[in-house]
Structure formats: structure tokens, C-alpha cells
Amino acid sequence: MMLGRIGVAIDIGTTTVVVHLVEMKSGARLKTASRLNAQSPYGADITSRIQYCIENGHELLTKLIREQISSMIIEVCETAKENYNDIESISIAANTVMQHLVVGYSPNKMGVSPYKTTSLFGQMLPAWEGMPVNKNAMIYYTPSISAFVGGDITAGILAAGIDVAPEPALFIDVGTNGEIVLKNKGDYICCSTAAGPAFEGAEIDKGMIAEDGAIDHLWLISNDQYNISVIGGGEPKGLCGSGLLDTLAMLLDTGAVDETGRLLKDSKYWLTKSDVGEGVYISASDIRKLQLAKAAIAA
């Protein structure tokens, strides 16, 4: 496999896509770009995207994700002042449905029992036509475990050192698709669930991905005062997943919500508010969506 001087590592999540520009010798990340997955209008989770493909074909979703990744590669290269023609190595980690779509395979067979895949990947394939990389570049697709435990989990197990961790060990990926892996007596037991996109800030009134302007942490300093951490340090624009969880924990601690998750005083709890009535808040419906996502993971 050619390595070259720079490469890209890509995480295709159901809700969020992240592209890292990497210096290959040291492994240092030079630049990172993240965006909402361009396929999101065609379904919030993998089940609804499979259904879209069954009804309409997969070609549009393949086109959208490829165009988005190409645009993000150009973005990180321009920001880092690098030439994308120098990129010879690409790795893609994603759930199995996202991997099928970016390669150009139909995911339809995964929508019905016995949930068969066209491939479980773990191989290198040439970069697709129009990808802004070296003409000889190859893409490594991380190996999936099953139709609903993908290459992102394989990569996560290795990155977290679960393969060498003392047993028993537990790996948890909390996202739009939630997965849990238990390592015990040399075996790996995996399960997955469609948790929905709330943990990633999607379908939340003031939700957003974890980028500049997102409240990512919130903590109490007294019973009615709290501090806010904002990614990038500027004015808060919304809440990403970790900010949502911190906010709900704070509301529980202060008694602003009861044990069922019901907001006691209003349908919204404002975290920031300007003179013209704009700001960041969490709503009653947001809390319900978080509860549904938590229930799926717990189950």
C-alpha cells in the first residue's frame, strides 16, 4: 500500500461526517472538517435510509455522500495549504450501511431478514472517479462485523485498546446507531440499536453537531448558577450531544424537571437569551427525544 506524505481518515456517521487530514509518518492530524451527513434528508437513521433505497434505488445517496466527502477533502487541504493530489492513502470507517452506500452497493438486503450484506469489507479499493486525491490513491474500508455492527466499531475497538484490555471489557459507541461490545474469555459479543440522532444534536430544537458555537459542557456552580463551555470559545449557537446530556443532568439536579423528565415551569428552559428573545434552550420535546435514545441504549 502506498502511504505518501499526507492521507485522509474519514468517519461516515449516519448523522455526522468527519474528515481528518493526517501527516502519515507521525500520524498527526493537520486539519479536521465535520458536517451533517448529506443523506440525512432521506432518513434520520439507517433503517429509514434502507427503506428509501428499496423504494428509490441507492444511486442518489451514493452520489450525495461521495460529493460531500470530496468537498470536505478540498476544504481540509485548502485550510492546511496542502495539495490534495498528494493524498495517496484514505481510510473509511462507517457502519455497514454507510459503507455500502459510499462504495456504491445497494443496502436493500440488510433491510429484511436474514439481513445479508453484499460485503463486510476489510479490503482496499481504488478511489472513486472524481475524488480529489492522487490518481493512484487507494481507499481502505475497515472490516464490518455484521450488517448492523460496522467498521466504525472495529476501528473503535482497536483505537480504544479493547483488544489488549484486561477482561471483561466493555466498548460502547453512543450515536444515531448505538453499539455495545463485550469482550469476555477471548470472545467479543456485540449488539446494536437504532437510538436516533438526538445524541448527535439532530432533530433537537437548538441542536447542532460538535463544531464552533456548540455548547459541549455545562456544570453547576450553585443551585441556580452554572457555567457553559462553548466549542471555539465564541457565542453559543446551540447544543451538541454532550451539552444536551449535561443540560438535562443539571435540570434534574436543580429540580427543574421531575423524575419523569417533565419540565415543571414551562415548555422551554432557556440557557442563554438575548434582549430580542433569541438564544439557546432545551424544550420538553427535546427531553423526550433524549429519553427515547437513552431507552434504546439501555434496552
Lowest-confidence pick of 170-174, 212-216, 272-276, 288-292: 272-276
pLDDT of residue 224: 75
State the chain's mean pLDDT as an integer: 93
pLDDT at 84: 95
List, in order, residues 6 or more apart from 187 with CB less than 8 Å away: none
Residue 106 and residue 51 in contact, taking contact as beta carbons nearer than 8 Å: no
Backbone angles phi, psi at 228, to 5 degrees: -125, 135
C-beta separation of 170 from 198 below 8 A: no
- Total residue length of the chain: 299
Per-residue pLDDT at 298: 87
The crossing angle, in degrees rounded to 10, of helices 284-298 and 241-254 is 100
Whole-number pLDDT of residue 217 = 95
User: Over 60: is that where the pLDDT of 1 sits?
Assistant: no
Are 7 and 14 within 8 A, CB to CB? no
Q: Which residue has the higher pLDDT, 61 or 203?
A: 61
Question: Is pLDDT above 60 for 133?
Answer: yes
**In the predicted structure, residue 2 carries a pLDDT above the cut 80:** no
| Grid-cell match 444515531, residue found | 176
Local confidence band at 198 (pLDDT 50, 70, 90 cut-offs)? confident
How distant, in Å, are the alpha carbons of 95, 125, 128, 155 from that of 117? 12, 17, 21, 19
- Distance CA(121)–CA(142), nearest Å, equals 6
Q: Given this model, what pLDDT does residue 147 score?
A: 94
Q: Give the pLDDT score at 150.
A: 95
Contacts of 205 (CB under 8 A, 6+ apart): 281, 282, 283, 285, 286
Contact 179, 153 (CB under 8 A): yes
- What confidence tens digit (pLDDT) does each residue in 227-258 have? 999 999 989 999 999 999 999 999 999 999 99
- Per-residue cell: 200: 448527535
Decide if pLDDT at 264 tops 60. Answer: yes
- pLDDT at 182 (0 to 100): 97
pLDDT tens sequence across 45-74: 898 999 999 999 999 999 999 999 999 999
pLDDT 10s digits, 25-49:
999 999 999 999 999 999 988 989 9
Reported as a pLDDT band with limits 50, 70 and 90, residue 299 is confident
For residue 252, the one-letter residue type is: L
Residue with cell 461490545: 181
What is the reported pTM? 0.84
95 CB contacts (<8 Å, ≥6 apart)? 12, 13, 14, 46, 144, 148, 150, 151, 152, 153, 177
User: Exposed, middle or buried: residue 92 (CB in 10 Å: 0-12, 13-18, 19+)?
Assistant: buried
What distances in angstroms separate CA 93 from CA 96, 208, 224, 227, 238, one per listed residue? 9, 22, 42, 35, 27
134 contacts: CB under 8 Å, gap ≥ 6: 4, 85, 86, 87, 88
- Classify the phi-psi angles of 14: left when phi > 0, otherwise alpha if psi is within -120 to 50, otherwise beta: alpha
